[in-house]
A and B are shown apart, each in its own frame.
Chain A
């Protein structure tokens, strides 16, 4: 019954309840972590075993929250589909929301397919309040919470999970999940596009079609009430992660001992923002670079990456010696130097490849603009080519 695909769940549930479950399963996103959508397992029926199917009317809903997964039982009655459901909140036996705070329960409308989803969202809100109340057991953590709450940037996008007190050590743990207010909108689409294709394979399996908005989530786990053991972790949506250069983008500074969230979180935020800026800038810089080369080398340009501006290939001739130059622009260009690969058009190596030489260090400065870089590159080519030619003749075969 685990890892049930949503389609299977929809097939097995009683027809009258299907629309409600549909919106939960297909569109259901609650909470900050919208990459993980709601999952349904353990479909069972409340009717007698002789009732012909499909007649399932009770199931377990997995809800991601603050880095945990809440497993709540939702109980309907297939014979009375107009009635609102009942809930069992798993291990949180003491969580008892006030019904008046759940308008979608009080005014339950079985005809509205979104009703259940809205009700679940309201319950999550109440659950969040409940967890925040539990933070009162630790004054330190409560302080953290209050200080974050005051900051409009973070206060509204917070999920708190106050863990159970460890009965052995008496330790109290909590986890803060914060959505970082970093603007990813200017990241060039091309960076994200690859990822979407990558995800497509996964999407067909278990997730919905829309991978969701791009988020950066910071999870900070306090293993003890005195905040001496703090473990921060950064979660980026896959496209952002890819755009920022893979898992290296997830490196963040350690939580300073004695520090507090209200100082640390903006720090991380800034770091992330800088990275994003870099990436955006890099894109523009590369574009500039390629444009400059185009204008300088004109017909010598064989091809170039017109989307990401990461590659450029030139075919040049010097004293009747033709050669190719491949330019690879790194992600953090202009901070990082482009790689030049010289390739002879005549000579082969032993392995059957065209003879080539890679040059990573050559006169370069990130402060030059595109034109300047093009000029300098030209000059460099002239100085380097004789060397290359000799090498090609010496080491390569025709």
Chain B
């Protein structure tokens, strides 16, 4: 058997009891229900457990002692009825409060209990005993409560009384008890304001709204899925094209290499040769064919420290290291349109910082274009006012560094420019290198001049 009492009923009983200046007693109203638990385990098919649960919903305090019984402990049924009135059928027990006594039923309590059991017709009438114990110096007071069912055998009389939510509810779940809320006021308020929260079916409105949001999200998700699928297919197609092109390029390379070999062999055989003519185109082609990876370059050559990491890797010449950003060699690079670039065409033959990772830069030293010192090799003219140059530089650089595989699609205006200037190969001469160093210092931007200094 188990018993439970709601927190407010318990506190109400305590309140009445603690405020009385003598012993106090009253009746407990509530419900008794049977709970059957069927448990199925591996070892047995099912076992049913019957549990009787006593729930205390209300209490009915007696105004004074001996109100329904006399000195001999005989219960007067009329007085009992006048106290209980129509609540008599809800009585499931009674309680008594006495201070500083033992937790044991007293002589008179036992006599009264027997009579009440008979009169009220409740076979398992319970008795709740409160005792209030104070220490001698009144420093500690303890309220103890024990629930008895005296009609059972002597050894099985105490029942545990549980008070739901008496404890730390931040750690445990707040339990909703099955004690019905019989307050009229509560019912009225809920009825009045219920329409704001519940729709006509009794389902909370919020739930519907949330469900709608959920559905919308699901739809969008489906649509996006479709889009993703399509773009993936496009990508796949493009990838195939790229692969094809690569194959073609490789094929062409092989062919030209073979031709060259044949030519050479033929030339050797003839001992007439004009290799120079070949070289340029030869040189040009591989160069043009070769795609350069674009390192990340700084926008402001002077200020950014980056570009050069790539440069560092590729350049064999430390001096090329970039305190300054090297001019772009537009000629070499297939120039895609830089993102956000102002689109300045690169100026004439700009000496490029070969260090920018165009490893070919060094290889290009063969080029004999010494003069192609750009009007703006470096940031500056030295006086710091080089917005134009900077811009150009930036553009150049960007142009320089960016490279995409999709040559076909691009606006290749710059590309054409570059190609036309392809003859001017970037100088990798020492002058360039020298320029790299102190060029920034030259007042007139003349690399040569700086070198001289």
Q: Could you list which residues of chain A lie within 8 angstroms of chain B, going by C-beta atoms?
A: 44-49, 51, 58, 73, 75, 77-80, 83-84, 86-89, 93-94, 96-97, 99-100, 102, 105-108
Contacts and interface: CB of A to CB of B under 8 A. Distances in A.
Given A46-B99, A106-B71, 13 more contacts: A44-B99, A46-B100, A75-B23, A75-B106, A86-B108, A87-B108, A88-B104, A93-B104, A93-B154, A99-B72, A105-B71, A106-B72, A108-B71
Nearest to A43: B100
A80 B108 CA distance: 17
A58 B18 CA distance: 18
Which 9 pairs show the lowest CB-CB distances between chains A and B? A44-B100, A99-B72, A77-B22, A87-B107, A79-B22, A106-B72, A86-B106, A86-B108, A46-B99
Contacts of B4: none
Interface of B: 18, 21-23, 65-66, 71-74, 98-102, 104-111, 134, 138, 141, 154
Given A44-B99, A93-B154, A49 B104 contact: no
B65 A77 contact: yes
Nearest to A100: B72
Nearest to B136: A1
A73 B101 contact: yes
Contacts of B74: 99
Given A45-B100, A58-B101, A80 B106 contact: no
Contacts of B111: 96, 99
A94 B106 contact: no
Candidate in B18, B71, B74, B138 with the most chain A CB atoms within 10 angstroms? B71
Contacts, number: 74
A83 B65 CA distance: 9
B107 A89 contact: yes
B22 A75 contact: no
A106 B65 CA distance: 16
Contacts of A51: 21
A99 B22 CA distance: 23
A79 B23 CA distance: 9
A96 B71 CA distance: 15
Contacts of B141: 49
A73 B102 CA distance: 9
B22 to A, nearest CB: 4
A96 B107 contact: yes
23 contacts: A46-B99, A46-B100, A49-B138, A49-B141, A58-B100, A73-B101, A73-B106, A75-B98, A75-B101, A77-B23, A83-B65, A87-B106, A87-B107, A88-B101, A88-B102, A88-B106, A88-B107, A93-B104, A94-B154, A96-B110, A97-B107, A99-B74, A108-B71
A48 B21 contact: yes
Nearest to A56: B100
A47 B73 CA distance: 23
A53 to B, nearest CB: 11
A316 to B, nearest CB: 72
B399 to A, nearest CB: 95
A47 B21 contact: yes
A47 B72 contact: no
A108 B99 CA distance: 23
Given A86-B109, A87-B107, A80 B65 contact: yes
Given A49-B138, A96-B111, A78 B22 contact: yes
B312 to A, nearest CB: 88
A102 B154 CA distance: 25
B71 A46 contact: no
